[in-house]
Structure 1
Amino acid sequence: MSTSDTRADDGRPAGLAKPGALARLLAPVRPHLIACGVLSALSAAAGIVPYIAAAEIARIVLERPGGAQAAVWTWVGVGAAGAALWLILLVQSSRIGHYADAAILHDLRVRIVRHLGALPLGWFRATGSGRVKRAMTGDLEEMHEVIAHALGQLTGAATVIVVAMGYLFLVDVPMTLVALGVLALMGVCYRVSMRSMTSHMNRLIAAEGRISAASVEYADGIQVVKAFGTGGRVLSRFDDAVHEYAQAFAAWVAEVRYSSAATRLFGSEMAVLTAVTAAGLAFVSGGSLTVADLVAFLVVAVGLPTSILPAVSASQGVRKGRMGAAHIERLLSHAPLPEPEHPRPPDGHGVEFDRVTFSYDGVTNAVQEISAVCPPGRVTAIVGPSGAGKTTLTSLLPRFYDVTAGAIRIGGIDVREIPSAELLASMSLVFQDVALLRDSVAENIRIGRPGAGDHEVRQAAAAAHVHDVIERLPDGYDTLLDGGGGGLSGGERQRLTIARAILSGAPIVVLDEATAALDPDSEAAVQDALASLAVGKTVIVIAHRLHTIAGADQILVIDRGRLVERGSHAELLGLDGLYARMWAAQEGVPA
């Protein structure tokens, strides 16, 4: 297990990070939680009243047979009133608790999503999808258990114990101590069984994260797995993660099996019944306890485990809720990309790379000392072998990462001095991997400019040469797409994202190998769409197929993170360097 899986950012074990995280996250609904706790306590107190009433009725009948009918009916009324009040208060407590639960979890989900949107892309690269999924599902679900269920169960159990023991002390102190002794043994065994829960839960959560990551990897790559028969290798990572989870769970069970069994034993009605009966008969034989008083213990004390055992589970839920809150708070504590203290608007839309250096790990530079100017109204192509640093360089422009050294400027202003929203609004980004939402075709295009009308959406689609394709869909622009684009081909999905970029009207266009995976017909259609997108814009194109950028105003050739050549297509062929060799290899002409 890696350190990153088991340690918090401040060096403490992950489950122990920042005590009080749960209380801090729940602060906005604290008044509702207090009201829920008070109502739960009152409900529990009312709920024990029928048992006390039954015990008192039994004592009256045994001590005064045939008499005191009025007292019996009084206690019947008290018991009925307690039962009715219990139900009313329980419903109100549950309503307030679930309202608080829905409100705070909604707010937390919004906070998490907004925070994730502000984090640098590098954080997701290092973290993977497992932790995000855990925060949005598992951690919030554990907090839900605390708010909606555990709080009421714990306060209810505490109230039941106080009220019941208070009554039983009035009946007989020695017998009350016997009942308390059994419950105390349950408490000791429970503490022993929970002594290392945090470390075991951290191990389980880490394994669960690896299971999630392996599942996503397998699902996303299922075509490759089936086509090339690599399922065994991919599934082995899933297998390893499941095996680690099973081992972690088995280790926890092996450690707590005896103490957990003892907890259930001493917390059972049978254990309390046995102890109370044995001690009660002994006290009755010795003359220190009446049969009527023994009946009171058999009615009230024996029922205590029914109220306490749910609280035992609830206390485990609180522990998990605290851990979940710590994970969420730690996620929210990751610093987003810093916004400029004194923002400056760019003067134009020319792009300048000034001795740009960047490293993912702080050791090896993915790009190094790259300087280039991309004038407005011109097309700049970036080419080079796979892994040369092309995509990394263009990812620095919208601040998916911040440069390690040097600067990137738009209109003479460092991108770090431009507000993120304004920076991203100035760019249309079209990637090789098409990202479509589970929404209508129109809304997928309207992402480019959320306020755009239907006519503008259709104009953008027409400019992207995809309008006719959309019209042939079952519901036209209202056709719902899944994440993979429904029945659209790869080229049609790509043109849909280009329509999105056209609609945005951004003055800077970044194309990352937008036609690399397309067939010739689709590539031609996408190229026509790109031509409409690029008119009058600052265009930066990452290209794999060199013939698609032969007409670019300038071509930057990158190799091993460095800029090795620059010039027009003809100039670079004349240099007879890396570009000329790449061209010869692709076009099948002698180098």
Structure 2
Amino acid sequence: MAAEPAALPSLLQPIRRRLALAVLCQAVSALLNIAPFLAVAELARVLLADGPVDRDRAWTVTALAGACLLVRLLFLVTASVVSHLAENDLQLSIRRLLVGRLDRVPLGWFSGRGAGAVKKAVQDDVHALHHLVAHSLLELTAAVIVPLSTLAYLFWVDWRMALITMIPLVLGIGLFGRTGAAFKKNLPALDAAMTDINGAAVEFVQGIAVVKTFGQTRRAHRRYAEAADRFASFFRGWVDSLVTPRALSEIVLSAPTMLFTVLLGGTALITTGRTAPEDLVPFALLAVGITTPVLTISFAEEEVRAAKAAADRIGAVLATDELPLPERPATAGPGAVTFEGVGFSHDGEHRVLDGVELILAPGTTTALVGPSGAGKSTLASLLPRFWDPDEGTIRVGGTDLRDLAPEEIYRRMSFVFQDVRLLRDTVRANLLIARPDATDEEVEDAARRARIHDRITELPRGYDSVVGEDARFSGGEAQRLSIARAMLADTPVLVLDEATAYADPESEAAVQDALSELTRGRTLLVIAHRLSTVKDADQIVVLDGGRVVERGTHDELLALRGTYAGMWQAHERSTVWRPGSPSQSTADDPTGSDTLAGDTTGSDTLAGGTTAGDGTTAGAAPRPAIEEAV
């Protein structure tokens, strides 16, 4: 059971003592900051006192003020250094926690989140804590200490004048609080209005080609203009409701207002003999600075709110369930891969797989076919433990997949996905991911067999070229790099899904040749979208609604005249092209295939040997052609 998302105090726990030290130093610095003003007030008493001036006292007060400034600087620098060092350690520790957790979550967790979402948690949300720890807490400390200590001193000087001084402060804070409450109340409406106008803008920009093609520019522009008008009307009304209390609060809290209040109250008290004239000096000097921290507190409050939201998102990642690992990992022996009553649901409500029974015999090819959403990719993703099944068991050589260490799983299985991800590293490093101890000769041999070696040697630094800098690959070339990785891994089980999905026509043949080399002699699980690519498979498994509805060879399934037979007929119709007749849409193919009209050559067949001129394979037993694989 996952823990509750970590709150901001929990994330700050490792640096709590250093933060306390920084806040203490900042508090002392804030107290010493008002020392020069107190010194001026005391000098006024000395200089305005009856009789000769007490020179020693005057110079003592001046010296103490200068010393306080130097000591304040020392405490201020200490607070800043301690808070920044603590914040740096906090970012490092949180990133280590996040990376450690992400290393242990199920791989399927990433499939439901884009790279941007992971980057936001690891980078942006962690950085959002920087200003809070390094700046906002110190600013808040000073914003609280300065007015409180100032008011305490002023009450000590003259409590009546202090009460008069607080009149604009109390009124201003009340008005400011009213403004803040109105601001927070309308935030959801502001978010909705922003979403409305952003959606209209994105829709207009993304659809501009279609809009212009059909002459609907004016209509599309009108929709965006109407959304902008709605936002402007809302924003104008919202701002109008805030202008008056905000303006009044800033006027009441302004320096002229505070000074006028002090002078007015002081004049009244002095003329009635209730206050000495020199007692007015500290109020004239210090009262003006009492109201300034109110704005600082309001800005810091926003930063605290943003940091809390970021901390909650970080906590949600840290609370993600880890993939359970065996305490005593087992070792899988040789044998089949079996699915025994496997059921799975992503959300616990909608079942993606239900009671799947499947055997992948060593050295055979199993093809998964079925309509979109049948559960083909989900079934294949359970093999590398992207997820664990909710029901049933997956066994490798008779051993439960959950009893194997991840390293053991990846020694037994390799995968070629349709969406190839290359690291921003050298080409060699990208290939060595499959087997870090491989020699340069083994890396280059795998690249040659994957038909990508020549392309790599054309790069400025060959295998030492960096992807994204001086090495850029097309979809087909990246796919062949992925195949070279799988060749280096040299595992007995291979899972393929749309291996030619991003290959251009020129490189598709090279990808097919590379796949022929890769699949020779292995146990294959193929997710098929073009039925012609798997008709020679040892077994074809038809999934529909997460259940196995049919299984058998191509001929056996055709003889059943069931789901597969209907899919095959639709596939054949999609490959027939008659001059003058409408082309068949790929949407007619319930397999979701990318088959192009006119493709009747049967050149999809992937074999361990060479392809003869009649389309048959020579030099090896027939193998299924695999054009689209995981």
- Displacement of 1:562 in angstroms is 3.2
The match for 2:80 among 71, 94, 106 is: 94
- Which digits, 9 at most, give the CA deviation of each residue in 1:423-456, with x for residues without a partner? 4554322111222233332232233245555554
Does residue 581 of structure 1 match 2:581? no
Q: Which moved more, 1:161-170 or 1:113-122?
A: 113-122
Partner secondary structure for residue 315 of structure 1? helix
SS at match of 2:343: strand
Alpha-carbon distance in structure 2 between the residues aligned to 1:452 and 1:503? 8
State how far apart, in whole Å, the 1-side matches of 2:93 and 2:145 are: 31
Q: Which moved further from structure 2: 398-407 or 494-503?
A: 398-407
CA–CA distance in 2 between the matches of 1:360 and 1:121? Answer: 13
Q: Deviations over 1:364-421 (max 9, x none)?
A: 4433333211123322222233333221221222232333433322222333343455
> What residue is the counterpart of 2:547 in the other structure?
562
Q: Which residue of 2 aligns with 1:330?
A: 316
Q: 1:431 aligns with which of 417, 423, 428?
A: 417
Amino acid at match of 2:528: A
Which residue of structure 2 lines up, in the alignment, with residue 357 of structure 1? 343
What is the one-letter code of the residue matched to 1:552?
A
1:408 aligned counterpart, secondary structure: strand
Map residues 246-325 of structure 1 onto 2, 5 A cutoff.
Answer: 257-325=243-311
Q: Is the 8 A contact 1:349 1:538 kept in 2?
A: no
| CA radius of gyration, larger in | 2
In structure 1, the residue matched to 2:530 is 545
Moved more, 26-35 or 429-438: 429-438
Q: Cα offset for 1:127?
A: 6.5
The answer to whether structure 1 residue 146 and structure 2 residue 132 are counterparts is yes
Partner of 2:516: 531
Do residues 390 (structure 1) and 376 (structure 2) align? Answer: yes
Q: Larger % of helix: which?
A: 1
Equivalent position amino acid for 2:569 in 1: R
Give, in whole Å, the separation in 2 of the partners of 1:440 and 1:223. Answer: 39
Query: 2:38 aligns to what SS in structure 1?
Result: helix
2:501 counterpart of 1:516: yes
Is the deviation greater in 388-397 or in 293-302? 388-397
Q: CA deviation at 1:262?
A: 4.5
Taking a change above 3 Å as real, the CA distance of residues 217 and 43 of structure 1, as seen in their structure-2 partners, is farther
Say whether the 8 Å CA contact 1:376–1:536 is kept in structure 2.
Answer: no
The one-letter amino acid of 2:65's match is: G
Q: Quote the Cα distance in structure 1 between the aligned partners of 2:221 and 2:99.
A: 30
**Conservation of the 8 A alpha-carbon contact between 1:557 and 1:579:** no
> Does the 8 Å contact 2:417/2:499 carry over to 1?
yes
2: CA distance between counterparts of 1:332 and 1:368?
31
Residues in 1 aligned to 2:79 and 2:230: alpha-carbon distance in whole angstroms: 41
- How much has 1:105 moved relative to structure 2? 1.9
* Contact 1:352 1:408 survives alignment (8 Å): yes
Q: Could you say which residue in structure 2 is the equivalent of 1:50?
A: 36
1:112-511 matches, within 5 Å, as 112-120=98-106, 132=118, 135-136=121-122, 139-195=125-181, 257-340=243-326, 343-348=329-334, 350-420=336-406, 422-424=408-410, 426-450=412-436, 452=438, 454-482=440-468, 487-511=472-496
Which letter maps to 1:493?
Answer: A
In structure 2, what residue type is equivalent to 1:293? D
Counterpart amino acid of residue 383 in structure 1: V
Judge conservation of contact 2:531–2:568 (CA < 8 Å) in 1: no
Deviates more, 1:350-359 or 1:332-341: 332-341
User: How far has the Cα of 1:169 moved from its partner?
Assistant: 2.6
Give the stretch that moved more between structures: 106-115 or 370-379. Answer: 106-115
2-structure distance, mates of 1:236, 1:508: 57
TM-score normalised to the size of structure 1? Answer: 0.82
- 2:15 aligns with one of 21, 29, 50: 29
Percentage of identical aligned residues:
39
Query: Which amino acid in the other structure matches residue 100 of structure 1?
Result: A
How much does 1:323 deviate? 3.2
Query: Structure 2: how far apart are the matches of 1:473 and 1:240?
Result: 52
- Give the CA RMSD over aligned residues: 4.4
Deviations 1:175-230 (A, max 9, x none): 122223433334434444444777766787899999999999999x999999999x
SS of structure 1 residue aligned to 2:275: coil
TM-score, normalised to structure 2, is 0.77
Task: Write the distance in 1 (CA, Å) between the matches of 2:508 and 2:157.
Answer: 89
Measure the CA separation in 2 of the matches of 1:256 and 1:160: 28
71-80 or 250-259, larger mean C-alpha shift: 250-259
| 3-state DSSP of counterpart to 1:434 | coil
